[in-house]
Amino acid sequence: MEPSPKDGESAAAAEPSRGGTAPSSGVVVQVREKKGPLRAAIPYMPFPVAVICLFLNTFVPGLGTFVSAFTVLCGARTDLPDRHMCCVFWLNIAAALIQILTAIVMVGWIMSIFWGMDMVILASKYSALTLPTSL
C-alpha cells in the first residue's frame, strides 16, 4: 500500500522515479523579500517618471529620490499600505537626504543609483500589472 501524497506535493513527486534518478525531496512554496521601511517606501511610479528619477539620481545623487517623494503625495502606491501618506513622504525625503549627505564618500551616489534602479524595476512590475489583458 503506497502512502498518499501530502498537501502541496504532486502525485508525480510522490511516485518513485522511473528514470533511475531520485525525486527531489523539497518544494519551494513561496519566496518573499523582506524590505526595510526606507526601501518599502519607494513608490510605484509610471515607467517614464521612474526613468527620469533614475537619470536624476545618476547625475545628482538624491534628486530623483526627492522627486519620487512627491509622487507619493500624488497618490503613488508603496509597499507600506498601513502607513499614512505623509509618513511615507517623509521616509522618501529622509532617503534623499541620506543619499545627498553621503554622496561625498561615494556611498550616497551608489545608493542613489541603486535606488533609481529599484524605482525602474518597481515601475516595470507596476506597468505589467496595470496593462489591459485584451484590447
Domain ranges, ordered by start, for the chain: 45-128
For residues 109 and 47, what is the distance between their CA atoms, to the nearest angstrom?
22
Question: Would you give the DSSP letter of residue 112?
Answer: H
Q: What is the pLDDT of residue 20?
A: 55
For residues 44 and 17, what is the distance between their CA atoms, to the nearest angstrom?
45
Least confident interval from 16-30, 54-68, 82-96, 108-122: 16-30
pLDDT higher than 50, residue 88: yes
Q: What is the pLDDT of residues 1-13, one digit of tens each?
A: 545 444 444 444 4
CA-atom Rg of the chain in angstroms: 22
Q: What is the pLDDT of residue 22?
A: 57
Residue from 21, 110, 123, 128 nearest 57 by CA:
110
Has this prediction a pTM greater than 0.75? no
